[in-house]
Amino acid sequence: MSKGKLLKSLLLATALLATSISAGPATSVSAATMTSDFNQLNATQVVTAMGAGWNLGNQLEASINGIPSETAWGNPTVTQALIQKVKAAGFKTIRIPVSYLNYIGPAPNYTINSTWMARVKQVVDYAYSQGLTVIINVHGDGYHSVSGSWLLCNSSDQTTIKAKYTKVWQQIANTFVNYDEKLVFESMNEEFDGTYGNPNTTYYSNINAYNQIFVDTVRKTGGNNSARWLLIPGWNTNIDYTAGNYGFALPKDTYRSTTVPSSEKRIMISVHYYSPWDFCGEESTNITQWGATATNSAKKSTWGQEDYLNSQFQSMYNKFVTQGYPVVIGEFGAVDKSFADSSNNTYRAAFAKAVCSTAKKYKSVPIVWDNGYNGNYGFGLFNRSSATVTQQGIINAIMSGMSS
């Protein structure tokens, strides 16, 4: 989730914490019996297999007063039917943001609430059982704007944070150890000190340390985790601050399974793309058009058009993909301003198609952001209550971009 989206979420927040966090029919996956060739795929093949992705946003990362709750930000409980509809729409990957916050117990064990962990597993199973690639992370725990956050790179008590982070990822990794490599772990989300501009080098080194702890901790749990694909971000998942010379360091994969050929990687790089922000996320009706087909220059941003998109994705390709590290555009999208400009959805679709076709060009995985909200300034592509499509044109554009 990028700046602005959290505010929209909080405006949708319910007054009371949901009393139940389980919903829908129980889905049991015997992960050990599920087989795939995913762990045999090289970097290029994995990107192709992951296809276009979709975010189950503002659900398992939603919270109120530091307590995670999937209905806290106005969405209904997640159902198997919704996930099936997402698959039917053509998406091959689902990213499931997850927050833990005050569902993490005290030191020294930092035990995650068992009911919450079981619900996370159930939602993962909704997608995993459909043969989709699933990405799960530690999402809102590093947000300065979220109550109960603790994964703060600018905190003075890094020793405690690192101990807690280790224990949290031990538990997540052990919960899913028998799942095959169609389950991808992502270390964290949009981690930075909360200020925009060039990264603080000390705080960036803390982010690098978190990524190293994540890789080491997951690998040491053994089993399928020893060869699993792991996804890591740089500073605020910003492309410039990840591909440029601002302090990002790739973690060493010391404990990886020896069954993985030494010439291959099992680490992916995560970045987000909401450029230009005045078109993609700003809650203003000033900028509603994008790209070469825009008909009103006054409604089009002065930056962030096709050439900028190409240069951004090319920089990630040059820095990482050429070295064998797949790139995942973990979030992208543009809010709905069609109430102010009837042509807006045409340009939202053009933007989505361009992102996906450029991602394909540079061998990256695009995953569209969906916060479940279909009103003004919403990112919703589906109605989550009825499990129906609301923005077929944008979905068509995504699939067209992937096939171009």
331 is catalytic: yes
DSSP state at residue 104: B
Q: Is 235 within 8 Å of 151 (Cβ atoms)?
A: no
Instruction: Reduce the DSSP state of residue 41 to 3 states and report it.
Output: coil
- CA quadruple 317, 322, 323, 329: dihedral, nearest 10: 30
DSSP class per residue in 165-188: HHHHHHHHHHHTTTS-TTEEEE--
The C-alpha atoms of residue 254 and residue 219 are separated, in whole angstroms, by 9
Tell how strand 67-68 and strand 388-389 pair up. Answer: unpaired
Strand partners, 62: none
CA distance readout (Å), 227 to 35, 65, 116, 177, 262:
14, 37, 26, 11, 12
The token pair that represents 29 in the structure block: 């996956």
The token pair that represents 379 in the structure block: 């990112």
Instruction: Reduce the DSSP state of residue 380 to 3 states and report it.
Output: coil
Residue type at 50? M
Strand partners, 153: none
Q: Is 99 within 8 Å of 146 (Cβ atoms)?
A: yes
CA distance readout (Å), 167 to 159, 189, 209, 228:
13, 18, 15, 19
**Nearest Cα to 247, choosing from 275, 209, 214, 217?**
209
306 is catalytic: no
Active-site option among 61, 186, 282, 331: 331
Q: How far is CA 158 from the centre of its chain?
A: 24
Helix and strand element counts for the chain (H, E): 11, 12
The C-alpha atoms of residue 195 and residue 266 are separated, in whole angstroms, by 31
Active-site option among 186, 190, 191, 282: 190
Instruction: List residues with catalytic annotation.
Output: 190, 331
